[in-house]
Structure 1
């Protein structure tokens, strides 16, 4: 191992031919991450070392909360702290890695002054505010960022015990394709439950990605009793691929379609990073209840989801545990036949299933305006949603 320097920004740097033992974060699309996380942190999936679970927390353009600019910031965060005993402390020695893809060697970063660090309830993450200057990191001649790809890593030593964990990768879809799914809803005026969810659906090569549409006939949150509310959420099918999908970067829009396939109401196109089993995105004020009067004659309408997958993150992911809601909510599932990606209508049967669903909402009713070369884009009444679907047949 070659020593480079010992005290620049408090970082001890060296070179190593050996890859990191515990975590490898392979980012195959640096531009995609910086597009979706321009200022916020990108978190890796969990990995295990020394009997504890950890995450890497990465700011590719600097941690703005600490007024860091023009540097890459990288931190180690302990995960699952809620499961640890009261007053817990974990003493560790850790180091970070950055692959020089030209020399096939790793630049290793360690604290220049303190080897042993203590994680505890008030100190969940530690690392380097200024890991490496951004201009040095993005300089292709350095070998760290080549063809929009870079590789970070970590080793964490807890009482000298080490374990191997799977890596995490982020990749951009080279030729993204827009797919459509249509959910046909009959007997619309007779829908009296608070919420209905479609059967999970997927597209072609993305069989491990399951999408679900949520429909509130009488509205939810700020749209209660005045609007129909629509949401889209994502779940990963862990049995389809390994490592499983943990995040999906997508652009999507939702539409209300009449029986003649004419679009009556559309949402704006929104770019969003969906987390498997996490929160989705939607509109509590999608269309006014008065605006639905045009469907009463046929009593049928369809909800169309238009989804373009732009990038995928795969890795160990989170524990998969669901948040405990303040109270359970009932969701009705409308059984439907398969629908192809070209938007062919799926029929709805008259039978229903009960699902015990858990939803946590954080409303965003503000009107957002973003200006670009192509003009103005408006977003109205967005809202978060976190579903937990445990289906049970209605007795």
Structure 2
């Protein structure tokens, strides 16, 4: 707040006879609005990892989801568009992470890594995300996660015997609680 040279300068009047005085003013008002508790996102050691093995790629519908899994007192799913979504339909494989709670009261900030595993060379395709999930914003992801050309290229090892592996690694999480 104050440089030490100014604090020790006798002409400034801050320190007199080796003493100083500090004051704090506290105001109390009647507040009837919303209060939120926002803890700092916690880095998870070790990270939470969810693995989804997706079989029979050629027979998948245009929209499918992983089995529901629990993490941080919430239910989650990975949404998959195996042949792309929106402007990326027919061009890329698309993914979204979705908060799948039917009654979401809190907001959940999450940081994660989503990857399609290279089953041959271990050169995985990975993207990182960070998002505040709430009842009005339940999912987030990538329309162009990986091009279908690269995904179908057998030498790249993503799709092996009509099966691929998706891995979600949650690295940080924080639940924002609302109070009335």
Gaps in structure 1 of 5+ consecutive residues = 1-101, 110-153, 157-165, 239-243, 318-395
One of 134, 137, 144 as aligned partner of 1:278: 137
Distance 1:261 1:189 in 2: 23
TM-score (norm 1): 0.34
Which residue of structure 1 lines up, in the alignment, with residue 44 of structure 2? 176
2:43·2:171 contact (CA, 8 Å) conserved in 1? no
| Shift, 1:249, TM fit | 1.4
Which residue of structure 1 lines up, in the alignment, with residue 14 of structure 2? none
Q: Which is strand-richer, 1 or 2?
A: 1
Provide, for residues 125-166 of structure 1, a one-character-per-residue CA deviation record: whole Å limited to 9, x for no partner: xxxxxxxxxxxxxxxxxxxxxxxxxxxxx237xxxxxxxxx9
Distance 1:256 1:211 in 2: 18
2:42·2:172 contact (CA, 8 Å) conserved in 1? no
- Counterparts of 1:107-256 in structure 2, within 5 Å, are 107-108=28-29, 154-155=31-32, 168-177=36-45, 178-191=47-60, 193-203=61-71, 206=72, 208-236=73-101, 246-256=106-116
Which residue of structure 2 lines up, in the alignment, with residue 35 of structure 1? none
1:209·1:237 contact (CA, 8 Å) conserved in 2? no
| Shift, 1:296, TM fit | 4.9
Moved over 6 A (4+): none
Distance 1:307 1:188 in 2: 25
Gaps in structure 2 of 5+ consecutive residues = 1-23
- Counterparts of 1:60-75 in structure 2, within 5 Å, are none
TM-score (norm 2): 0.70
The structure showing larger relative contact order (alpha-carbon pairs under 8 Å, at least 6 residues apart) is: 2
In structure 2, relative to structure 1, the CA distance for the partners of 1:307 and 1:245 (3 Å cut) is: farther
Max Rg structure: 2
SS of the aligned residue for 1:172 comes to coil
